[in-house]
Structure 1
């Protein structure tokens, strides 16, 4: 199945700037349950990226070490539980190292009503989700996910088949990222720079996804596919802005997160 392209105009139709009547709650609240003692930086990257989308509030619920680093970088982050419009889970975690209490907490999130961005160490739980999901595997994670679902690893239109099996959105990350949804044509976006191939940029993408999902105000699959494609576009454009700021040289994940506002402004035409 041929993939659709995604343009700045498509992204602009998904985004909205703040109005005089907005407050932090109407701009969207994203809950983030990411990071671990082994990989606390993933929490910092995802939270930073979520804030940079223009979301109204980020709630971080994770290990103490990661929470301390998040607050040192972004002191406006709330570390108390409460109402959210979307969740981000799994970045910087491993299913092998997850304890029973954390598994129960993640399953509770996945059994809820709001959209959940499912990354990295939480992908093993996504098949049982009742919530609307946006799963974000890279190629190797996608192969493992398909194996767990009993799907042919060599099938044509594999991304669409996986999305149908999950009854959600699949963002298969790579130099060409495919955003698939059940009963919709896939959307394909090429990475605009190979400097994105560095540690932590996937955590940044997950944070952008969480922020946009929280601000979208809807959880139907059509909306979530458009949100996911727009997040991938913003991630790529932020990387391009970061590379330009470094005269074409290498960038790191925080550089991408720091340039998300420039990509948002570009999409909104401001």
Structure 2
């Protein structure tokens, strides 16, 4: 891959500074609590994959407030996840949702979360809520989703344009939407409204499989929750956290693959090993 001019390739030496390593005085609350409203009746598995990514990326606790079917599957897989409202340090919203199929109850729940003015990670079916957010926000579209989002927000662009010039459109989207943009692809481009330009490459092409985006959103949600105070003080730190999440996911995919095919859950399960290698 030829790196676009002006873009910084995010390396392990930089990423390791954005992994919150617990000390002997930490507890589950001080290590970060991530609120999640993800999954849907049609795509409940996205919630499970996001929870797996977040738990394995080092968050102290998850409060899952998604739909009933998704919640049941999450609890079966992860009994340590809390299913009641309470204080959180960041939100992950939208994975496994379809914006065209959201009901009024879901819309109200997303609005309620965003009104808390906390750091937010918006994925998939919550991307169109970027302009509702009262707190520092990072969105995680792929190129089709970004083309749709920008068109709906008054900037005409088609899928082919975004796919052929992802670096350019990540920058345009960050400026137009006023949020940090993590644009997924064979290389992941991260741009902020204030000019950060980071790129993550070098993972395995086997990562291009269903559900890996949900795992990435979970990893990023965990990193944002563990750095919530820093993000609120300086929203530009979202770019570094997004690049770190992409690097961790990419390295986990390489570990899980070993040169062969992988599934999304394989990537999530390799996240602790990827982080351990990063810290070493």
Partner of 2:53 in structure 1?
49
For the pair 1:267 / 2:278, whether they are aligned, the reply is yes
User: Contact 1:126 / 1:135 at 8 angstroms: preserved in 2?
Assistant: yes
2:10 to 2, 6, 11: 6
For the pair 1:71 / 2:75, whether they are aligned, the reply is yes
Partner of 1:233 in structure 2?
247
Task: Give the drift of 1:95.
Answer: 1.4
What is the TM-score when the length of structure 1 is the normalising length?
0.95
Partner of 1:90 in structure 2?
94
Partner of 1:174 in structure 2?
185
What is the TM-score when the length of structure 2 is the normalising length?
0.92
Task: Give the drift of 1:124.
Answer: 1.6
RMSD between aligned residues: 1.4
Summarize the alignment of residues 151-190 of structure 1 with structure 2, pairs less than 5 Å apart.
151-153=155-157, 154=161, 157-190=168-201
Once structures 1 and 2 are overlaid, which stretch shifts more, 151-160 or 72-81?
Answer: 151-160
Distance in 2 (alpha carbons) for counterparts of 1:239 and 1:52:
14
User: Contact 1:168 / 1:221 at 8 angstroms: preserved in 2?
Assistant: no
Distance in 1 (alpha carbons) for counterparts of 2:205 and 2:238:
26
Task: Give the drift of 1:2.
Answer: 2.5
Deviations 1:21-44 (A, max 9, x none): 000011000011000111100000
SS at match of 1:31: strand
Partner of 1:30 in structure 2?
34
Task: Give the drift of 1:184.
Answer: 2.1
Distance in 1 (alpha carbons) for counterparts of 2:146 and 2:138:
13
Partner of 1:126 in structure 2?
130
User: Contact 2:196 / 2:236 at 8 angstroms: preserved in 1?
Assistant: no
Distance in 1 (alpha carbons) for counterparts of 2:7 and 2:80:
39
User: Contact 1:181 / 1:221 at 8 angstroms: preserved in 2?
Assistant: no
Task: Give the drift of 1:191.
Answer: 4.8
Aligned length in residues: 266
Partner of 1:115 in structure 2?
119
User: Contact 1:92 / 1:121 at 8 angstroms: preserved in 2?
Assistant: yes
SS at match of 1:163: helix
Task: Give the drift of 1:131.
Answer: 1.7
User: Contact 2:127 / 2:149 at 8 angstroms: preserved in 1?
Assistant: yes
For structure 1, the residue ranges without an aligned partner over 5 or more in a row are: none
Task: Give the drift of 1:129.
Answer: 1.9
Task: Give the drift of 1:16.
Answer: 2.4
Distance in 1 (alpha carbons) for counterparts of 2:257 and 2:61:
28
Deviations 1:212-258 (A, max 9, x none): 000013222221111010000000000011012xxx21100000000
Partner of 1:61 in structure 2?
65
Task: Give the drift of 1:152.
Answer: 4.3
Partner of 2:110 in structure 1?
106
User: Contact 2:47 / 2:74 at 8 angstroms: preserved in 1?
Assistant: yes
